[in-house]
Amino acid sequence: NIGHFNDPVHGGSWLRGAIYYFKIAVALAVAAIPEGLPAVITTCLALGTRRMAKKNAIVRSLPSVETLGCTSVICSDKTGTLTTNQMSVCRMFIFNKADGHDISVEQYEITGSTYEPKGDVMVNGQKFNCSDRSGLVELAECAALCNDSALDYNETKRIFEKVGEATETALTVLVEKMNVFNTDKSRLSPQEMAMSSNTIIRQKYRKEFTLEFSRDRKSMSSYVVTAGRGASNSQQSAKMFVKGAPESVVDRCTHIRIGTQKVPMTPQIRQEIMKLVHQYGTGRDTLRCLALGCIDNPMKREEMDLDDARKFITYETNITFVGVVGMLDPPRTEVIDAIQRCRDAGIRVIMITGDNKNTAEAIC
């Protein structure tokens, strides 16, 4: 309408004509937008937010909803996300004979699936006294000392709770159930019962330092010293307890423990260990396995470079295999339905874990 800005009706003034048509444009713009539109939009957004909140979906940033709508792959951690992270040892085995091709393994089942330190070690459905097997005593020592976690009794909730990692707490509970020193726990309070057997073992040995777990070697170890009261340094005996992924620990084992004796590791024995580990990891319960071992004559502390984690694997050699424990970490009940809904929506779910490959595949 620029050509009409100087019409005679505007007095021939370009400025008055421009102002006139500007007022008309503003009036049309205001009239075209309904007055109730902002209120309607706000109401719709509020109703949508309430419906999402009922489904436990609270949105802090609207762009995140758009991002979720574009998602085609979800990568999820396993432990604590897809599983309950309340681990418990339910099976274990040690060797009781290895003479050439004549190899005999003793397998045990452990009752109880919570952090409560009450349960029995069973063999063929019969309760077994773990103090009758020196191999089980050493396994308990390794589980207690190669461990930085503890068990605590919550008086308010009246339940036993973990202090530290779930994996190590499961080993702590196992030591209490094994009760290798036949401690009378009938008169102990829940607080005393939580760590009674572990305390005895930790009084027997003094932990000097720990070689922390690393992804490359898939193991960790504790350097301990045993000595009586008033013993001199020359009378102290050093020992290392090792725990980690079976495939990693077994590869560095040169012997196995049978009773109080050490027997050289052979390909047949190594094959038997890994066969049982595979059975534990792919069975009905899909157990997470840990191998336990010890080093009877470790390097001296002053010979180790504890500041360089890359050298830890060279210190964890000449291991004597003691046994394997299988831990149950049950999946969350809602996981199956959640994964199925993701698949129905065209979303691919990927599980990320540091567990054994067979165990991870069995869970999937």
Q: What are phi and psi of 103, to 5 degrees?
A: -115, 130
0.85 exceeded by pTM: no
As given in the structure block, the two tokens for residue 137 are: 């005593």
Q: Indicate the DSSP class of residue 300.
A: P
pLDDT, residue 56, reads: 83
Q: If pLDDT is split at 50, 70 and 90, which confidence band does 228 have?
A: low
Q: If pLDDT is split at 50, 70 and 90, which confidence band does 314 have?
A: very high
As given in the structure block, the two tokens for residue 15 are: 């400025």
| Residue 264 buriedness (CB in 10 A; 0-12 / 13-18 / 19+) | exposed
Other Cβ atoms closer than 10 A to 135: 20
CA dihedral 164, 90, 177, 127 (to 10 degrees): 180
**How many alpha carbons lie under 13 Å from residue 90 in its C-beta half-sphere?**
18
Say which of 7, 77, 216, 344 is annotated catalytic: 77
Tell which residue, 177, 152, 165, has the closest CA to residue 92. Answer: 177
Active site residue 120: no
Is residue 245 within 8 A of residue 168, CB to CB? The reply is no
Q: Indicate the DSSP class of residue 283.
A: S
H or E segment at 169? helix 166-178
As given in the structure block, the two tokens for residue 308 are: 């360089």
- 275 vs 1, more confident: 275
Averaged over 242-271, what is the pLDDT?
Answer: 94
H or E segment at 152? strand 150-154
**How many alpha carbons lie under 13 Å from residue 145 in its C-beta half-sphere?**
29
Residue with tokens 């019409």: 7
Q: If pLDDT is split at 50, 70 and 90, which confidence band does 99 have?
A: confident
Angstrom distance (rounded) from CA 128 to CA 110: 10
| Interval 332-352: pLDDT, tens | 888 889 889 989 988 999 988
Which residues does 165 contact at the CB level (< 8 Å), separation at least 6?
148, 149
| Residue 297 buriedness (CB in 10 A; 0-12 / 13-18 / 19+) | exposed
Q: Indicate the DSSP class of residue 115.
A: S
Angstrom distance (rounded) from CA 207 to CA 251: 25
From-to residues of CATH 3.40.1110.10 in the chain:
88-328
pLDDT, residue 101, reads: 79
As given in the structure block, the two tokens for residue 164 are: 């530290």
Averaged over 34-42, what is the pLDDT?
Answer: 81
pLDDT mean across residues, the chain: 87
Among residues of the chain, what percentage have pLDDT more than 70?
Answer: 94
Domain 88-328 has CATH 3.40.1110.10: yes
pLDDT at 8 over 80: no
pLDDT, residue 26, reads: 83
| Residue 183 buriedness (CB in 10 A; 0-12 / 13-18 / 19+) | middle
Helices (H), ranges, 283-352 = 312-315, 335-344
Among residues of the chain, what percentage have pLDDT more than 90?
Answer: 50
Is residue 205 within 8 A of residue 224, CB to CB? The reply is yes
DSSP character string of 183-241: ---TT--HHHHTTHHHHHHHHHEEEEEEEEEETTTTEEEEEEEE--TT--GGG-EEEEE
| Interval 145-186: pLDDT, tens | 999 999 999 999 999 999 999 999 999 999 999 999 999 988
pLDDT at 205 over 80: yes
As given in the structure block, the two tokens for residue 232 are: 């001199």
- 78 vs 242, more confident: 242
